[in-house]
Amino acid sequence: MRHVLVVDDIAENRYLLEVLLKGNGFEVQSAAHGAEALESARKEPPALIVSDILMPVMDGYTFCRECKADKRLRCIPFIFYTATYTEKKDQALAMSLGADRFVIKPQEPGELLALIRETLSDYLTGAAQPSVDVPPEEEVLREHNQVLFHKLEKKMADLEQANRELEQKILEQQRTEEQLRQAQKMEAIGRFSAGIAHDFNNMLTVIFGYGAMMLMNMSSDDPQRDKLDQILAAAERARNLTRSLLIFSRKQELKRERLNLNGSIKNVEMLLRRIIGEDISLIMSLSEEEIAIIADSGHIEQMLMNLATNARDAMPTGGMLSLGTDVVEIDEEFVKMHGFGTPGRYAVISVSDTGVGMDAATLQRIFEPFFTTKETGKGTGLGLSIIYGIIQQHKGHINVYSEPGQGATFRIYLPVMPGDAPDNDTTPCRQDIPRGHETILVVDDDTAIRDYLELFLTELGYRVFSARDGREAIDVFREKMGQIDLVLMDVILPHKNGREAAREIRSMKSDIKVLFNSGYPSDLVHGRNLLESGELMLMKPLTPSELAVTVRAALDGELLVLSEVGKGTTFTVRLPIGREVI
């Protein structure tokens, strides 16, 4: 039986050749490198050698030269079978060492088998004369080293490319994993926000309600008025904070309106001074030009408070906080230079501090949710993320400049609206609150809210019935339906929810007016299909002025629905005094 020695450092390659040869009547001996093969051949010379070139310990070229230098092995036909050494100079070196064939991997099994048989046949018939002249060692080594150096260079280049590709894949995987983690965090924030919003907004409704009622009954010179104003201002900030968290987690839409930017900043100036403390100076430099923007006033104020809080923490020993506004024209050249924006007029809010500053690595991450450089317990890592989200939703841009020890400057760009800036003073006046004499059924499972609504609506002249849940609301309406003009009802109630209760109430009186309210985020209400299309809904917390205006408009049929359930419900209130409240 013809004996073939297979030499390859890759086990899979050896296995494939063994299967092919043994299946066609050959006896096979294998080795993992040239040194092992040389020892095996000297013990039992084979009829044919099939060898790879690039191998550890002893490569194929050296193995071939050793065989041709050995009197017992020099006449054995030698086939190089390689995937790495594929150029003509590689083949020339192989043939100069005495090889009979130079075959490039991979080959079809039938073709490779035919080459092996042909090589053996040539030796048996004498058609191939074995070379016994071994080239000088120096010449072989020189050629060998040149070929090997070339191959190693190529291998190194291939490895470097493979490493770069692997690093890129790892980075992409890390980015994907980070995006997944951020998405999970956002989902967790969303669930948390929706969970606390209901109870928090119910509490704020009571604070707003009784506080505003006390304020309306106070004289302008009452010494307690300033204290009550501070309570209501704190409640307003709490409402904006809740809405900021819901908007950040995409659970609530913005309430955009035409604003005077300078006026909004002046409204929050006193609060900013309290946030930063007495050891930090606040320098205001507002544009002489009144600037009109379309924005959510609460979120503009929230954005400034977050920046002021960060500035305060960056100046533990005191310093200076500068706040300014201006109007700039962004053109194509600006966009190319700065890498953001679209051409047009923009309001610029500049907030600068003289604090510790930030390095480049920190600047790259400051808008990431939960990223913070503050000590544990001193920062949530959400302040700048909320700012970034608010600016994006306002179709604006933000950039930051900072260096360690040089403080930081934030510039916020918001589109300017044409026309005069409005007066931002929205303080409710008692004469603006409409009254009535109709009968209203109030339905809410929260006793404090139910009591507040009953008291306030009664003060406005309305007659009020109340119910604790959906089932009781149906019973009360059945008994008093001839007297009730409007049902003011929470959406999520025990026993029967608002939608189910409203359906039964309307089956008794089809033209009854129903106004829903809820402390849950609007997307949760709409996502769970808790309201019929076209229903009207007020979002808690309910301030007395908002409640009075909306109730009066609902009774008068002056609520115009601007969007459908499932897309957020917005309505316009048309008042006899000519104002519109959205």
- The 10s digit of each residue's pLDDT in 89-107 is 888 888 888 899 999 988 8
Q: Is the pLDDT of residue 308 over 70?
A: yes
Between 543 and 360, whose confidence is greater?
360
- Residues 558 and 162: their CA atoms lie apart, in Å, by 69
Residues 6+ apart with CB under 8 A from 218: 224, 225, 228
Q: Is the pLDDT of residue 133 over 60?
A: no
To 5 degrees, how large is the angle CA 496–CA 498–CA 501? 60
Does residue 434 have a cis peptide bond before it, meaning omega lies within 30 degrees of 0? no
Give per-residue pLDDT as tens, 452-504.
999 999 999 999 999 999 999 999 999 999 999 999 999 989 989 888 999 99
Give per-residue pLDDT as tens, 412-437.
999 998 766 566 554 444 446 889 99
Residues 6+ apart with CB under 8 A from 28: 3, 4, 5, 6, 17, 18, 21, 22
The upper half-sphere exposure of residue 7, i.e. CA atoms within 13 Å in the direction of its Cβ, equals: 31
**Phi/psi class of residue 557: alpha, beta or left (left: φ > 0; alpha: ψ in -120 to 50)?**
left
Q: What are phi and psi of 211, to 5 degrees?
A: -65, -45
Q: Is the pLDDT of residue 204 over 90?
A: no
Rg of the Cα atoms in the chain: 41
Average pLDDT, the chain: 82
Cβ burial 18-46 (10 Å sphere, 16+ → b, else e): bebbeeeebebbbbbbbbbbbebbeeebb
- CA distances 28 to 5, 6, 16, 24, 102, Å, are 6, 7, 12, 11, 20
Domains and CATH numbers, the chain: 3-135 (3.40.50.2300), 257-415 (3.30.565.10), 430-581 (3.40.50.2300)
- CA distances 66 to 10, 49, 151, 459, Å, are 22, 13, 21, 112
Would you place residue 245 in the very low, low, confident or very high pLDDT band (cuts 50, 70, 90)? low
Residues 6+ apart with CB under 8 A from 503: 532
Give per-residue pLDDT as tens, 511-569.
999 999 888 766 667 667 777 776 778 888 877 888 888 899 889 886 544 333 334 44
Between 247 and 343, whose confidence is greater?
343
- With a pLDDT cut of 90, the percent of the chain lying above it is 34
Res 285: pLDDT: 92
Q: Per residue, what are the HEC states of 242-273?
A: HHHHHHHCCCCCCCCEEEEHHHHHHHHHHHHH
Taking residues 316-344, what's their average pLDDT? 85
The secondary element (H helix, E strand) that includes residue 451 is helix 447-459
Would you place residue 375 in the very low, low, confident or very high pLDDT band (cuts 50, 70, 90)? low
The pTM for the full model equals: 0.49
- CA distances 260 to 269, 271, 328, 417, 573, Å, are 14, 18, 16, 10, 22
- Residues 188 and 369: their CA atoms lie apart, in Å, by 12
Q: Is the pLDDT of residue 400 over 70?
A: yes
- Residues 65 and 60: their CA atoms lie apart, in Å, by 9
